[in-house]
Structure 1
Amino acid sequence: MKLSTLAASVVALSACLFGSTAAVAQDAQPASGPVKNIVLVHGAWVDGSGWKPVYEILTRDGYHVTMVQEPLTSLEADVDATKRVLDLQNGPTILVGHSYGGSIITEAGVHPNVVGLVYVAAHAPAVGEDEGTLGKGKPSFTAQQPGAIKKTADGYTYLTRADFPKDFAADLPLNQAKFEAQSQILTAAQVFTTPLTAAAWTSKPSWGIVAGDDKIINPDLERWYYARAKSHTTVIPGASHSVYESRPQQVAAVIEDAAKHAQK
């Protein structure tokens, strides 16, 4: 083979190999653009069915939405339940938590599928902190209401049936609030006092919703959490702790904003 022909062959082969390597490298890069997977995590005393209004909006808008049903027996068990659902996602995911669910997503959010966090009237402790201690610094209306929170002999908590509608769900229809009061999932007291071992908001973008008339978590505590985490914060005036049920359009809009911008 002539030297000129050999040189041309080497150049052509090198260009082919470079192109293939570049294509592989491009394929290996993280996906960008809107995220399509959303995982919703409920808080204490309730279950995942409360997310239905938000779920319906998000699925209508083309998102793949999954609810986690935590056992509410320990923070570790609830984080594990969330990670199982995250393992089933087929790509980048926005992880959303309400109330105590904020502590869960803070720890579970280190999962590699999670690219953004959304806190809905939620706690967001740091490593070594627990929401019970932080709540004492900015106590809620409910926390200062004697007898509102009861505990069973084996250490599970619930909100008194009479107080639930006005404390947890003041802006829901009364019949719905009464039903939720009667269908509470008793929650282990230890979940509120277990220190976190990870805090995903320190390394991943976050969004936060303040429920303006929240009686379960002090709205000022919610603001403090989100300011510390440098979250994109939305305040919904007049909303109760059940903001995800009473104002689903506004909550869904924040989640969709996170999905569109988390990877930018």
Structure 2
Amino acid sequence: MPSPTVVLVHGAFADAASWSPVTERLLAQRVPVFVPPVYNRSLAADAAAVRAVVERIDGPVLLAGHSYGGAVITVAGAADNVIGLVYVAGYVLEEGESLGALQGGFPDSDLAAHLVYTPYPVADGEPGTDVSVEPDAFPAIFAAGVDPVRARVFAVSQRPLSAAAFTEPASVAAWKTKPAWGIVSAADHTINPEVERFGYERAGLRAVVELDAPHLVMHTHPDEVAAVITGALAELS
């Protein structure tokens, strides 16, 4: 059987480059890795796109999702060749639950007061709404701990998330049938860390690592994130 491939799934307001420090470390350890784009249009569409990538891979796949990417892997992880899930400062949804419903049970993070809503065209339909982060607030809220120059670059190159993704329920919860691991970013200002802890506890993850880290933990603590992923691979071997 081929070695498992690690598929790294990015979240809202970011792109595949958000995983770069971890991607570099996994490749250095000769771990097969793929980092697909997430289009951030809707939970169902994003999960379907990631699942299509996963199902084209010959062999088993370990999915790792950051932030909104956690919701995406919760649904996409139902693919038959997915052998496990790793949540990195991520949302763990229950079947039938939306991001908005999960977040609504907890106090808002600092992000909530700094969101920008922008219409975007939809062919033959009403315009959609993109959600992004105020560029001036982005470094402190989303990219705390990241090199300031890089944080400013991230701030002006965001991949917005459609507002529809916040209200769309998860069609399946893959953690019910696949083993999963989690990382809590205890200094997260984008997601209330209690949302992360609650989702992980409810899902009964095999192990949870809590780091004194901001939202982009892959940049501030790449060794620790890579270690959780390779540790999961070792348990699954």
TM bucket (normalised to shorter chain) is over 0.9
User: Counterparts of 2:47 and 2:58 in 1: how far apart (Å)?
Assistant: 19
1:23 match:
none
User: Counterparts of 1:46 and 1:86 in 2: how far apart (Å)?
Assistant: 20
2:107 match:
139
Structure 1 residue 93: Cα displacement: 1.1
1:205 match:
179
**8 A Cα contact 1:94 1:114, kept in partner:** yes
1:45 match:
13
2:124 match:
none
Structure 1 residue 262: Cα displacement: 2.7
**8 A Cα contact 1:120 1:210, kept in partner:** yes
Partner residue of 1:93 out of 38, 61, 70? 61
- Tell me whether 1:58 sits opposite 2:42 in the alignment: no
Structure 1 residue 88: Cα displacement: 2.2
Which structure 1 residue ranges, 5 or more long, are not aligned?
A: 1-30
Structure 1 residue 179: Cα displacement: 0.6
Amino acid at match of 1:103: A
1:192 match:
166
- Tell me whether 1:68 sits opposite 2:43 in the alignment: no
Structure 1 residue 144: Cα displacement: 4.8
**8 A Cα contact 1:140 1:215, kept in partner:** no
- Tell me whether 1:126 sits opposite 2:94 in the alignment: yes
1:226 match:
200
Q: CA RMSD in A?
A: 1.4
**8 A Cα contact 2:111 2:133, kept in partner:** no
User: Counterparts of 2:134 and 2:58 in 1: how far apart (Å)?
Assistant: 41
Query: How many residues are paired up?
Result: 228
**8 A Cα contact 2:44 2:170, kept in partner:** no
Q: How does the TM-score come out when normalised to structure 2?
A: 0.92
User: Counterparts of 2:4 and 2:79 in 1: how far apart (Å)?
Assistant: 17
Larger Rg: 1
Partner residue of 1:113 out of 54, 63, 81? 81
Structure 1 residue 191: Cα displacement: 0.8
- Tell me whether 1:236 sits opposite 2:204 in the alignment: no
Partner residue of 1:77 out of 20, 40, 45? 45
Partner residue of 1:248 out of 218, 222, 236? 222
1:156 match:
130
Identity of aligned residues (%): 39
Q: Secondary structure at the match of 1:95?
A: strand
**8 A Cα contact 1:39 1:93, kept in partner:** yes
1:6 match:
none
Amino acid at match of 1:233: V
1:26 match:
none
Amino acid at match of 2:42: S
Q: Relative to structure 1, is the Cα distance of residues 114 and 168 closer, same or farther in structure 2, using a 3 angstrom cutoff?
A: same
Q: Secondary structure at the match of 1:137?
A: coil
Q: Secondary structure at the match of 2:153?
A: helix
Structure 1 residue 36: Cα displacement: 2.9
Amino acid at match of 2:53: V
**8 A Cα contact 2:103 2:195, kept in partner:** yes
Q: How does the TM-score come out when normalised to structure 1?
A: 0.83
Structure 1 residue 143: Cα displacement: 4.6
Amino acid at match of 1:138: F
1:9 match:
none
**8 A Cα contact 1:94 1:116, kept in partner:** yes
**8 A Cα contact 1:156 1:188, kept in partner:** yes
Structure 1 residue 140: Cα displacement: 3.6
Amino acid at match of 2:150: Q
User: Counterparts of 2:158 and 2:201 in 1: how far apart (Å)?
Assistant: 31
